[in-house]
Structure 1
Amino acid sequence: MEFNSPSSAYVHIPFCRRRCFYCDFPISVVGDRRNGTTSTAIAHYTDALCSEIRLTPALGKPLKTVFFGGGTPSLLSVAQLNQILAALDQHFGIDDDAEISMEVDPGTFDLAQIRGYRAAGVNRVSLGVQAFQAELLSMCGRTHTVDDVYAAMDLIRQVGLENISLDLISGLPNQTVEQWQASLECAIALSPTHLSAYDLTIEPQTVFGKQYSPGAAPLPSDELTAAMYCTADRVLTAAGYQHYEISNYAQPGYQCRHNRVYWENRSFYGFGMGATSYVNGDRRSRPRKTKEYYEWLDQQQHHPSALSIPEAVPSEMLLDTLMVGLRLAEGLSLERLAQQFGAACVSKIWICLKPYQRAGWVEVVGTDDTLLPTEVPTHTGRLRLTTPEGFLFSNVVLVKLFEQFDHSSGDE
């Protein structure tokens, strides 16, 4: 099986002022007074990141998307961002029309900084808002205020950045549907081109994980979080946003090109602490802690061949393809699935999902979105979850697929 060469890169910037109470990401806390111009740790990490980039085999294509995630990438100085982008460009090449995204947090940058980011090539920013209620921000351990959100949007707009995404979280402790709808409406009023609406996940080692039990008060009930999900779908689509992925909405023409690489199961490079790469069907994660990451990188520098990527067999890609592809509103091409994994595999997928079609969670549609007859297994059209019901119950559907195919060959 042929794998596409990577044309996207994820770059992890792990530094944060403090750890939010829901966060389980690989981060390094630097405090409220440290940033890229004052922290030796950030400067050292930037150098290490560039070393990793140069050690990674370049497989032929210039980069069409670059995504700086974190952590808080807006703690980088403009010079450090330029240093990383220069390393990527020199080693892989970056297309002139590449989407270069950067996560930024309110209160962590000024006008000169965001202007410098834009001049360096950043043409899309994702602003971590999470909520428009002061009490919810404080309860989450966020360092910014509601006023900081509006100030950040003003700075972003002043430098002419138009491709702006806002992140919001539902299902927070003590959060009501009314508060959630108010946050959605405040976000819409700021006219971002993209909105991500995530449902809170309680991770065991976080502050929230130690304080709360999933499904128990003061966390909203399952019924309440379902109501929040449906509220987001109703309010945002009524405002002109396309619900194009389980947690993501975009104005026409502004879907996140980088994240679509993940959902279409295409190859990408990953750089930095805790980052994952996906090359030749093989996923590889870097160590999640600072010391271990530097030790790992030192080992790669002495043994460069360790960074070479073996090819995976097609059957190993089936679950990945199903798990990420069904997150998209358009779903998966059954014809392409048949080409990749065999017609018998597609029939098996459909038999597995038939009960969920009867429940109204799964459907097969043609190129014009008309429903196709599905009394017998079909190898044409697109298999997709319905919106919002199928999206809402996506975990049930995906768990069933995992149980069916985890120990099966993709070409059976």
Structure 2
Amino acid sequence: MEANQPGDALSFDRPTAAYIHIPFCRRRCFYCDFPISVVGDKPPRSRQVGQSDTGFGTIAEYVDLLCQEIHTTPVLSRSLATVFLGGGTPSLLTVSQLEQILETVDQRFGIDASAELSMEIDPDTVDLDRLRGYRAAGINRLSLGVQAFQPELLIACGRTHTPADIYAAVEAIHRVGVTNFSLDLISGLPHLTLDHWQDSLSQAIDLNPTHLSVYDLTVEPGTAFDRWYTPGADPLPSDEATAQMYRIAQKTLTQAGYHHYEISNYARSGYACQHNCIYWENRSYYGFGMAAASYTNGQRFTRPRKRREYYQWIQTLVKQNGTIDCPIVSQNERLLDTLMLGLRLAAGLSVPGLIAQFGEAIVSQVLDCLQPYQRQGWVVLEGEQSQRLHLTDPEGFLFSNVVLTSLFERFAAQDAELLA
């Protein structure tokens, strides 16, 4: 990776990762504010593998236009180490649609033979044949959206699957030979108790995934939960209860042999998500699809969040030969991005690396801002000559928003020229 130098706004690393957004879901979960299109409840597993779906024609149209975007995007590197299909529900894709996407990516940018190819799947949208097709197409890492193991909680948050679907999906994952798979859980759901939470963690461990993502519910504006509930009030758990759930997850999963390598993520040794680590290390990546974000040539750009506007944007992109006109991220913004992303990692940030990028005076201000949280026991400077800066686990992670807000307030208002 090419290191950025202080004052050199044109020195950027080459992207080695691609995120691909598949915005289709059978229905919208009650907590979801993601940019998606609802296609109905007809299960995709009822078709033959690779066959088109009556009622799912919009997916085929989207895939064609998505591939057009990929084909039009300027090539900044010829070797992708990770590809991640997120959503939405990427497992609504037929095998042939997945193959079309991956072949287009490979033809345009090249995918390393050893690349991590991840795909999010919902438990009730896959079966053995479909997973075999995905595996043959190159997918070698699967992320299963479990969220909870209690049927009443799944119903309460609008999920379409059952606990039996979870177990069936994991069995199918094992049978097709995908050893690298992750389970997602959500704490803070309505009616979720500490006993429920401990039970979900125990059942997840019993399924022996290589990776677990544990997210705390955020009640987003405009969602069904936003209309129905007030954060911290019944039937949502209290703030104290959700904090306790975080501590329980940290203790339970680390004792079970999972490394807590990022605020919300745990992995067996060697199974941290390579793709997501690129985000947290503030490295460059391609983004494709409706509402997808990219970070290339020092420019962050997010595509339109609605399908019609996204299709119109692709037409403009083609006319402009793949040129996207947006400002380069300022040195000030890059500093905040680096801090806010890097402090999510258990490994934290290299202080000499920060100095190399932003200069000793700025890093001195950062460390000064963090001193109260060092005294609080949430932030640690460790190693000879304080080589690394990181949050403590679990308390520093638990109060990371307080720490990051302080950094943002300290630096966001400063003129970018002071850091250029």
* TM class, shorter-length: over 0.9
**Could you list the per-position Cα deviations for residues 227-267 of structure 1 after superposition, in whole angstroms to 9, with x for gaps in the alignment?**
00000000000000000000000000000000000000000
Secondary structure of the residue aligned to 2:212 is strand
Given that 2:17 and 2:286 are in contact with CA atoms closer than 8 Å, whether structure 1 keeps it comes out as: yes
Given that 1:6 and 1:61 are in contact with CA atoms closer than 8 Å, whether structure 2 keeps it comes out as: no
Deviation at 1:218, TM superposition (A): 1.3
1:262 alignment partner in structure 2: 279
Given that 2:146 and 2:184 are in contact with CA atoms closer than 8 Å, whether structure 1 keeps it comes out as: yes
1:18 alignment partner in structure 2: 27
1:212 alignment partner in structure 2: 229
In 2, Cα distance between equivalents of 1:326 and 1:211: 33
Query: Is the aligned partner of 1:133 residue 2:154?
Result: no
Structure 1 segment 313-328 matched on structure 2, within 5 A: 313-328=330-345
Q: Which residue identity is paired with 1:411?
A: L
2:18 alignment partner in structure 1: 9
Give the counterpart of 1:398 among 394, 398, 404: 404
TM-score by length of 1: 0.95
Give the counterpart of 1:385 among 366, 381, 391: 391
1:45 alignment partner in structure 2: 62
Deviation at 1:308, TM superposition (A): 6.1
Q: Which residue identity is paired with 1:292?
A: E
TM-score by length of 2: 0.93
1:276 alignment partner in structure 2: 293
Deviation at 1:355, TM superposition (A): 0.2
Query: Structure 1: 5+ residue runs without aligned partners?
Result: 367-371, 373-377
Query: Is the aligned partner of 1:31 residue 2:37?
Result: no
Deviation at 1:302, TM superposition (A): 1.7
Give the counterpart of 1:61 among 78, 81, 93: 78
In 1, Cα distance between equivalents of 2:153 and 2:329: 44
Secondary structure of the residue aligned to 2:33 is coil
Q: Structure 1 stretch 335-344 or stretch 307-316: which is displaced more?
A: 307-316
**Could you list the per-position Cα deviations for residues 171-212 of structure 1 after superposition, in whole angstroms to 9, with x for gaps in the alignment?**
011111110010000000000000000000000111001111
Query: Structure 2: 5+ residue runs without aligned partners?
Result: 1-7, 45-50
Deviation at 1:217, TM superposition (A): 1.7
Give the counterpart of 2:167 among 141, 145, 150: 150
Q: Structure 1 stretch 297-306 or stretch 400-409: which is displaced more?
A: 297-306
Secondary structure of the residue aligned to 2:287 is strand
**Could you list the per-position Cα deviations for residues 17-67 of structure 1 after superposition, in whole angstroms to 9, with x for gaps in the alignment?**
000000011100001116472111000000000000011111023110000
In 2, Cα distance between equivalents of 1:127 and 1:322: 29
Q: Which residue identity is paired with 2:223?
A: T
Q: Which residue identity is paired with 1:128?
A: G
Figure out how many residues of one structure are paired with residues of the other and give that number.
Answer: 401
In 1, Cα distance between equivalents of 2:188 and 2:275: 26
In 2, Cα distance between equivalents of 1:281 and 1:298: 24
In 1, Cα distance between equivalents of 2:176 and 2:316: 42
In 1, Cα distance between equivalents of 2:342 and 2:392: 13
Deviation at 1:136, TM superposition (A): 0.2
Secondary structure of the residue aligned to 1:167 is strand
Q: Work out which structure has the larger RCO, using CA pairs closer than 8 Å and 6 or more positions apart in sequence.
A: 2
Given that 2:332 and 2:411 are in contact with CA atoms closer than 8 Å, whether structure 1 keeps it comes out as: no
Structure 1 segment 216-231 matched on structure 2, within 5 A: 216-231=233-248
In 1, Cα distance between equivalents of 2:389 and 2:52: 49
2:419 alignment partner in structure 1: 411
